[in-house]
Amino acid sequence: MGVSFAPNTKHKAGMAMNTAASPVKKAFAPFDLNSTAMGVNYLSSWTKNGSFGCSFVYLMGDTRPEKVMNTAAREFDIKEGDQAGTYLVDVPSRSLDRFPTRAFDVSMVTKIGNWFVGAEYIQNKSSGQLRYNSPSAVRKDDPTVVLDYPIIPFQGAEGKRYVSSKVGNGWMVNTCAGYDNRTFGISLSWLKSSVRTGFLGKGQTQSHCATTQVYVMSIQYYYAPGIAPYFECGFAKMHNPDWAYTSKLIPFYSNFEYNGVASNKGNFFTLGLKVNF
């Protein structure tokens, strides 16, 4: 069993976490604060070359909110359809507050001879997601006309509304299998994650999921005891059907630039050196 505590998880230089979601304004202040992890491990060896291990970890912490630059009403226009006109939205001063961290991790690994297989599951409630619903808008020349799904207006497309109770509840599954005889090792891994975006259109009761899949192959050679050069290569694919709405929502609230893409994929490789003492 064990407990760990970190006052913040601030990253440096190009890895600085961007709490404003802006490539222009880097937020070097901590993103996650006062993170506490509590875990328990179990390991059993039934033969000289066979073993089973598992662990459970629970993580909780606070999340730093980003200051909102706009606290006055914002305007936007709808130029087509029955709802055409100019609308006003009162931007809440705390709209970029985020849910605190609440997550747990369960993992296991089994080894038989030089072969091994492992799996991991992570459940993340709503960590890092915006905590407040997008507000409604009223028509500028007629305040009795209220627009419930106005916040991210795209010309020729129906707007969506951000609902904080429909966001998060993300999960990730990570599996790995391989062979390692302490001279040469190879492993294959597969990871998949999914998280609710929180954006709803009219008549929609559940938001879409942003998903990611990653495939990785890793090879290592033990040059000497405790020293192992390794090579990794893989393929990753991400898809978020509501990413474009996110890229409009945050600038609307904060005046920070945010450029999102609906999907992305690519190949990668890594060369490195593992040193064990």
User: What distance in Å separates the CA atoms of residue 177 and residue 217, rounded to the nearest whole number?
Assistant: 10
The single-letter code of the amino acid at 54 is C
Q: Which domain holds residue 140?
A: 2-275
Measure the CA–CA gap between 91 and 238, rounded to whole angstroms. Answer: 30
| Per-residue b or e along 33-64, where b marks 16 or more CB atoms closer than 10 Å to that residue's CB | bebebeeeeeeeeeeeeeeeebbebebbbebb
pTM: 0.80
Q: Which of 41-55, 76-90, 254-268 has the highest mean pLDDT?
A: 41-55
The predicted-structure confidence for 191-243, as pLDDT tens digits, reads as follows 999 999 888 887 888 998 999 999 999 999 988 888 899 999 999 998 888 87
Q: Based on the structure, what is the number of domains in the chain?
A: 1
Three-state DSSP class for 175?
strand
Do the Cβ atoms of 250 and 66 come closer than 8 Å? no
Is pLDDT at 265 greater than 50 in this prediction? Answer: yes
Q: Is the pLDDT of residue 108 over 90?
A: yes
The percentage of residues in the chain with a pLDDT greater than 90, rounded to a whole number, is 32
What value does the mean pLDDT take over residues 106-118?
95
Nearest CA to 189 among 154, 236, 255? 236
Region 181-198: what's the mean pLDDT?
92
* Section 245-269 average pLDDT: 72
What is the pLDDT of the chain when averaged over all its residues?
A: 80
More confident position, 22 or 97: 97
* DSSP letter, residue 256: -
Of 10-19, 104-113, 133-142, the range with the lowest mean pLDDT is 10-19
- Structure confidence at residue 229 (pLDDT): 93
Q: Strand ranges (DSSP E) for 50-160? A: 50-63, 73-78, 85-90, 101-112, 115-124, 137-139, 142-147
Nearest partner of 167 among 147, 141, 194, judged by Cα? 194
